[in-house]
Structure 1
Amino acid sequence: MKIIRTLSISSDAFYDYLVNQLLSEANAVPEMNYNRNHIKKGFKFHRNMQHTSIVSTTEVLDYQPGKQLVVKTTHHTDSIEFNYETRQSPKGLEVTFKQEMSAFDKKKGLRFFRGFSSAIYLSRMSNSLYAIQEQVLKEMERQK
């Protein structure tokens, strides 16, 4: 699934937020102390999912600061890949957000329900981008 949205924040602020979120997850692993220098293509960490014995693996597939971040998380039954690409436009930061889930199999289910599921999925993707913008703007306001 793919959406394109224009945000009113800088690419630096956008990627800082994404990298900080990734570091927060990586450093949730006991005794880990990752920093921004670790975030690059090939960076990988494992962690137990909350309240289960299921281990997930998160890997940075590509990172070009200010341009693109691709991250894939996998566990025993599913994988999800997040791809953020950005470019500056006259209206703001144009973000192309692609998200692929292995469990989102187009062959399953009736056509109506696949379409309904797709609409909900796209809406959640859009909401997540606007939530990032909101968090970045709140942080900027707090730092003033």
Structure 2
Amino acid sequence: MSMKLTRILKITEKDFYDFLENDLLSDINQCLGKELSVEDIKKGLKYSKYDNNAHTRIDISILEYKRGEFYKSKIKTLVDTITITYETEVVEEGLKITFNQHIESFEKEKHNKLMRMFSEAVYYGRMTDTLYDIQKKILSSKEGIVEPVRPHPVEHKHMKKLFSKEV
């Protein structure tokens, strides 16, 4: 099953690809135990990691990569193969990202219509969360904030009025 989702994020193209490359290099260098650089992120790069939560090995292959345009990878486990693609385009409002996810096991299984619709809704929700999480991490790192911190409730009535307005 292929699912395609397009969102416009309020980040720059540079921010997105810097984040993607840093995230990949962190993961790859940890798995391979050696230091690769941005130049190494290209078609044909493969690495494996072990997911302790799922107790399984994950093989990751970069199928295509062109900074500023697209990233495509294949994630393979014992039970599934997922292909993920990000295509980007700079627009007036920010960065338009088309996120495509192809899940092979979903096609092999015979789902009834209701179950298929439910599963698709769950996957689309996760895909949307993924994109907005990327935006949140980029914006937080630019501001030097790890996690947004809300002010503690203030007891003084004049101060309470100031802090009660949503930012």
- TM, length-normalised to structure 2: 0.78
* Distance in 1 of aligned mates of 2:49 and 2:34: 11
More divergent stretch after superposition (103-112 vs 70-79): 103-112
3-state DSSP class of the match of 1:58? strand
How far apart, CA to CA, are the structure 1 residues paired with 2:33 and 2:95?
36
1:101 counterpart (94, 100, 103): 103
- Which of the pair has the greater relative contact order for Cα pairs under 8 Å at 6+ separation? 1
Measured in 2, the distance between the counterparts of 1:140 and 1:41 equals: 29
Instruction: After TM superposition, give the deviation of residue 128 of structure 1 in Å.
Output: 0.7
Task: State the alpha-carbon separation in 1 of the partners of residues 4 and 53 from structure 2.
Answer: 31
More helix by share: 2
Name the amino acid aligned to 1:131. Answer: D
Aligned to 1:50: 52
Q: Which residue of 2 aligns with 1:4?
A: 6
Long gaps (5+) in structure 2: 146-167
1:115 alignment partner, one of 103, 111, 117 = 117
Match of 1:29, SS state, is helix
RMSD of the alignment, in Å? 1.8
The residue that corresponds to 1:21 in the other structure is 23
Larger radius of gyration: 2
Deviations 1:32-52 (A, max 9, x none): 222212101111112222267
Letter matched to residue 104 of structure 2: S
Query: Counterparts of 2:4 and 2:70 in 1: how far apart (Å)?
Result: 14
How many Å apart are 1:107 and its aligned residue? 5.0
* 1:80 counterpart SS class: strand
Answering whether residue 83 of structure 2 is matched by residue 81 of structure 1, we say yes
User: Could you list the runs of 5+ residues in structure 1 that have no partner in the other structure?
Assistant: none
How many residues of Structure 1 are paired with residues of Structure 2 in the alignment? 143
Give the corresponding residue for 2:34.
Answer: 32
Alignment deviations for residues 10-41 of structure 1 (CA, whole Å, 9 cap, x no partner): 11111111122211221222522222121011
The answer to whether the 8 Å contact 1:45/1:59 transfers is: yes
Name the CA shift for 1:127/1:53 in 2 (closer, same or farther; >3 Å). closer
C-alpha separation in 2, matches of 1:86 and 1:118: 23
Q: Which secondary structure state, in structure 2, belongs to the residue aligned with residue 6 of structure 1?
A: strand
Percent identical among aligned pairs is 34
The one-letter amino acid paired with 1:22 is L
